[in-house]
Structure 1
Amino acid sequence: MFNFLNPEATNPTPQQIARFFRLLGWIGFWLQSLLGFMPILVVVGTVLFNPNRQQSGGLSFGLFSAIACLLLMIFSIYWCFRYTQLARKLEIRDLRPAKSQVIRDLQLGLSANVGSMAIAVLIALARVGELTFKMLTVPQGSAVVVPTPDRARTLVTQGALITPSDMIAIQAMVNTIASGLVGLVVALLLLYLVRQNQNPQERS
């Protein structure tokens, strides 16, 4: 097996590259799928069941950014699966794509993961900053009045500024960043491996 930490382990064969494409592709696919399950539920639930959005009749900039981030994450999950399909072509000499094409595919996956991570970080910074500002504006020891869903009664709690839905949203952002990090690491490792091969079209 190819050793990424050994600088002398250069010029891997297409068969070695194919094995790593299959291995890292499946690892990235399942890890990103598990991490992306919660963000998908949060965004879909916000779009379909958020009463504030239904009353406003449109998408806010934050929700639009979350949808764009989600689409990039779904694309990166599919792209990890595509690495496993690319491994089959690398094993067959007649179907083997050019090195430049493989590098372009990896760079596209790299860009998608960087994009999803960047958007998720911006959303997380805005959301956490908003919650922090709310907490700082409330006097210490004060009570917060929270309207109930039926709008007929109110519930008085002690400092209840961060709701369970806020924590779920923050966890979804963290999962999205972690998912992008997994895809980023997979793409970088495969890109490094492909660049080590001097002539993948001629080696068998």
Structure 2
Amino acid sequence: MSNQTDLKALPPPVQRVIPALRRIGWISFWTQLVLAVVAGLIFLFAILIESPAPREAARSSNVGIGPGIFFAVLGLVSLGVSIYWAYRYTRLSQQLSSVNPKLRPRRADTLQMVRRGLMVNLAGMSFTLIAAEAIGGILLAKALQYQGGASLVTGLRPQDFIQALDIFVVLANTHTIVAHFFGLLTGLWLLNWIDNQAQG
């Protein structure tokens, strides 16, 4: 009851922003967390079932996979930061519910925090898109080798063809892209909502 009384003491725009920040923060947090866990488990599974071929053979058959995996991992790390940022939105809603105006973040600070969250998601999506380009190029090269029918003549090894492991890596990277996209959507929605509430 006292919480309701405290909320009524706040300015009307702040009253409207608090539940939106809390709700969107939790939705964004849990959605991105689930997608990050699934992507992380798929990457881990792909690493664990990787064929025990010698390093030289693996390198020659997957030229460029190193940069692809590197950028995919950067995308996952950025996703971790984005998940933390979504959690901070929920903490920000608690700070905004303070009756003392000195303890309450200013509108500019709130907007700046949402903008930083957008930048994290934009950077993470950029990393995962670069990873997708690198991994997609490798899969295209493998598919073209197979289409050329050169396997009988040149004796290509099994890792020179598209395998289930390659599709796992693509799937994990796609989950990371979707998570960053969701973070961008929620951040843009929050930015627009807070801006409209301040004007209204």
* TM-score range for the pair, normalised by the shorter chain length: 0.7 to 0.9
AA of the residue aligned to 1:106: V
Q: Where does structure 1 differ by over 3 angstroms across 4 or more consecutive aligned residues? A: 42-52, 59-63, 140-145, 197-200
The number of equivalent residue pairs is: 175
Q: Would the aligned equivalents of 2:46 and 2:169 in 1 still touch at CA under 8 Å?
A: no
Secondary structure at the counterpart of residue 198 of structure 2: coil
Q: Residues 128 and 146 (structure 1 numbering): CA distance in 2 closer, same or farther, change over 3 Å? A: same
C-alpha deviation, 1:39, in angstroms? 2.4
**Overall identity of the aligned pairs, in %:** 28
Cα 1:12/1:181, change in 2 over 3 Å: farther
Higher helix content, 1 or 2: 2
User: How far does residue 33 in structure 1 lie from its aligned partner after superposition?
Assistant: 0.9
Q: TM-score, normalised by structure 1?
A: 0.74
Question: Can you give the 5+ residue segments of structure 1 that lack an aligned partner in the other structure?
Answer: 1-10, 148-159
Distance 2:187 2:12 in 1: 17
Q: State the TM-score, normalized to the length of structure 2.
A: 0.75
Which residue of 158, 174, 182 maps to 1:146? 158
The one-letter code of the counterpart of 1:162 is: I
The code of the aligned residue for 1:124 comes to A
- Give matches, 1:168-179, under 5 Å: 168-179=168-179
What amino acid is aligned across from residue 112 of structure 1 in structure 2? V
CA–CA distance in structure 1, aligned partners of residues 150 and 55 of structure 2? 34
Residues 67, 131 of structure 2: 8 Å contact kept: no
Aligned-partner residue type, residue 196 of structure 1: N
Does 1:164 pair with 2:164?
yes
Structure 2 gaps of 5+ residues are 1-10, 57-64
Deviation at 1:146, TM superposition (A): 2.2
- Aligned-pair CA distance for 1:75: 0.5
In 2: Cα distance, 1:186 partner to 1:12 partner: 22
Letter in 2 for 1:73: L
Any conservation in 2 of the 1:43–1:66 contact (CA below 8 Å)? no
Aligned to 1:197, what secondary structure does the other structure show? helix
Q: Does 1:73 pair with 2:85? A: no
Conservation of the 8 A alpha-carbon contact between 1:38 and 1:175 = yes
Alignment of 1:46-61 (within 5 A): 60-61=66-67
Aligned residues: CA RMSD: 3.1
Paired position in structure 2 for 1:96: 104
- Listed one character per residue, the Cα deviations across residues 74-125 of structure 1 (whole Å, up to 9, x for unaligned) are 0001111111111111122323101111111101100011111111111111
Q: Is the 8 A contact 1:12 1:196 kept in 2?
A: no
Say whether the 8 Å CA contact 1:110–1:184 is kept in structure 2.
Answer: yes
Structure with the higher strand share, 1 or 2: 1
